[in-house]
């Protein structure tokens, strides 16, 4: 089977503190406490589980590294609370 590698793109992301429903092109997705809310290259928003986020993305600067280090895996006590979002 052919294999592919993700193109390097820079995204913005914040940690979610409590469950949130997000309207996306794929329908409504639910982000849970501890997940990351990603803003994609076209401004689209979608949730990503913490473990997948950490496997997929790496910080591009000191601010992002500090944000990632602020939380232990699965911890989200100081994360951002977002109301239900619609694009």
Per-residue pLDDT of the chain (87 residues; tens, 9 = 90+): 888 887 888 899 999 989 999 998 889 999 999 999 999 888 999 999 999 999 999 898 998 888 888 765 545 555 455 444 444
* Strand boundaries in the chain, DSSP class E: 12-15, 20-24, 27-31, 36-39, 45-48
Prediction pTM value: 0.73
């Amino acid at each position: 089977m052919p294999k592919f590698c993700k193109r390097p793109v820079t995204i913005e992301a914040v940690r979610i503190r409590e469950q949130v429903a997000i309207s996306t092109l794929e329908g409504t997705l639910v982000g849970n406490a501890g997940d990351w809310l990603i803003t994609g290259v076209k401004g689209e928003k979608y949730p990503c589980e913490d473990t997948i986020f950490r496997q997929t993305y790496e910080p591009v600067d000191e601010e992002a590294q500090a944000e990632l280090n602020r939380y232990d895996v699965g911890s989200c006590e100081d994360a951002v609370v977002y109301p239900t979002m619609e694009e």
